[in-house]
Amino acid sequence: MKNDFIITISRTYGSGGKNLGKLLAAELNLPFYDRELLELVSHTEDYTDDEELSYIVDDGGVRPNMELFKKQSQAIIEAAAKGPCVIVGRCADFVLRDRPDVLNVFVTADPRARLRRIMRLYSMNPPEAKEAIRCKDKTRRTYYEFHTGRHWQEAANFHLCLNSSAAGFRACVDIVRRYLDGMMDEDRENI
């Protein structure tokens, strides 16, 4: 299989969307971008969490960091211009919306599976993990909806919506690969 597509992955916290992106990138031998985009735009590796950088707190309250979003968007466009790759988060589906060579994937998981995953990965107890999921999802929803004008998690924004806890990561990778194969078959038929 030859992949000529840029794959964007949006995800709920704890669904393993980043993990799925890494698996896809490795299997398809593609560059993987996640926090790397932040390094490109911030010119530093001294950050803890991109969501902390996404907002500015000042006398006027909390407001989105528009400058960071613009820089991240430019980095996404530049990464996509280099060729096929996997990009996780940062509204990449929206930033690249006019390109025909993009496959937009949304990954979620059942609430209990997300809770177990966060507890295991970050050594949290159930209340801590539940609060972390609530906060991260709220931040992602707010960020996405502010910058795109779209509803976060709305299936119409994506080509594929996957439940990683129902299907498992291996099956999710296979589904994306089969979808890409189908997209490439359609392209050949349209020539």
Instruction: Extract the tokens encoding 157.
Output: 């924004």
Spatial distance between the Cα atoms of 107 and 11, rounded to a whole number of angstroms: 5
| Cβ 44 vs Cβ 143: under 8 Å | no
Query: What are 80's two structure tokens?
Result: 């996509």
pLDDT digits (tens, 9 = 90+) for 147-168: 999 999 999 999 999 999 999 9
Q: Give pLDDT tens digits for 8-57.
A: 999 999 999 999 999 999 999 999 999 776 566 655 444 444 555 565 55
| Torsion angle in degrees (nearest 10) through CA of 116, 120, 123, 128 | -20
Q: Encode pLDDT of 80-98 as tens digits.
A: 999 999 999 999 999 999 9
Whole-structure pTM value: 0.84
- Beta-bridged to residue 61, according to DSSP, are 58
**3-state SS assignment for residue 137:** helix
